[in-house]
Structure 1
Amino acid sequence: MLVFTGGPQPAAVPVEELAAQGIRVSEPTTHDADTAFPLTLTAHPDEGGGLVLTVAHDPARLRDADALLADVVGLLRQLPGRGDQYTTARAFLAELREPVTRDSDTGPLLRELRAGAGESGAVVCLVPAPGVLSARYERLALNYAGPEPLALLEQGEWSAEAQLAALAPLLGPERRLVLGGFSGGGAAAYELAQLVARTGGRPPLVVLAAAATPDADLARTLAAAAARAG
């Protein structure tokens, strides 16, 4: 006898919150079509002319269903403000790929996700990766159990020098920097680490994880690295 049981259920879909933005979301269901990709997104018009998006993922390859759902919700939240009824899917995706550029007048370069608890010899800074929504880093901060302050560098075409200057108030003269994030942000993290070393600071530890890594796993790894660094 073969028995098939469902895996862990993702968090509840924020139906009412999305409905307030004109987005209707159905509850997740199982999908009976095999796919060669870990995640597929299909779009088609419904009978009323609305856009219907269907996301299917392979739980064997993307185990963190909660993270997947949060990323999809974050993407849906961007839809109403990034186009109108004449915006094509190609134009929307092209806009998402464009780097965000800011100057000092349009917003902070660094966002503190979690204040430190007591004295700590390290600061953990998350380096954003292209395509990873800020909600993912916010969830990671909720899973972080160490005493270190946790900050996020904002997406944008910032130089490593500007990033280090933004981190200076958190670092102080004694604290060591721990840089972390998901694959895709490694080049920026290593560039920042090399700059710290060149300017006479203690070389930062760099912790990177695959995009499919559960948030709690990366949070534990970062906390362990920060404990060693401090």
Structure 2
Amino acid sequence: MSQPTSLRDRKRAETWNALHQAAVDTAVSGGLEQVTVEAVAAAAGVSCRTFFNYFATKEDAVLGLREPTVDEAVLAGYDVDGDLLEETGRLMLSVMRSIQGGDEESSHRPELFAKYPHLLHRRFQYVTKVEQLLAGLVAERLQASARWQGREHEFDAGETARMLVMVVAAGMRYVMQKTATRPTREAQFAALDDGLRLMRGVLKELQ
């Protein structure tokens, strides 16, 4: 059973949403050039100092980007002795979703990406953070696993984890493309299942 959301958490969510929405509205109506920390903070009714408690840059506010986090319940269920492709794919999708904050995908995001390509680069920086975080977690779990201990390996756990994450990251691109217009949790995990099946088929053809 999920824990009830505290008043503090609700207030933080409301402030985050207010800042994000103000940044998006300004970018769409006046262009990204008109988005300033001062204007966004004022529209949300908070100080500039408060703005930086939620977003590192105005671009992050426009895109609604957050630092990647790991759901402890999802991590606890990560079975490194199981199907590594599927297990890592599900863990990565969970962490990927944490940088965007919720199911809602701004309908204006494709428009903004097309007009301001550097926003895509900013989002990619967050995806890289996800991959780095995941590679460390997978390496740690792999090193301590029964499947790794007591066996000789050509590559160490860190190298193996990085390659695994890179392979799974390719599958994530498939998921994001398939669910661009409907990025709900259900749609994305369904697309992940399809993508993993396709990836296995492609890898088999390459053998």
User: Which TM class, normalised by the smaller chain length?
Assistant: 0.3 to 0.5
Q: TM-score, normalised by structure 2?
A: 0.33
| More helix, by proportion | 2
Q: TM-score, normalised by structure 1?
A: 0.31
| More strand, by proportion | 1
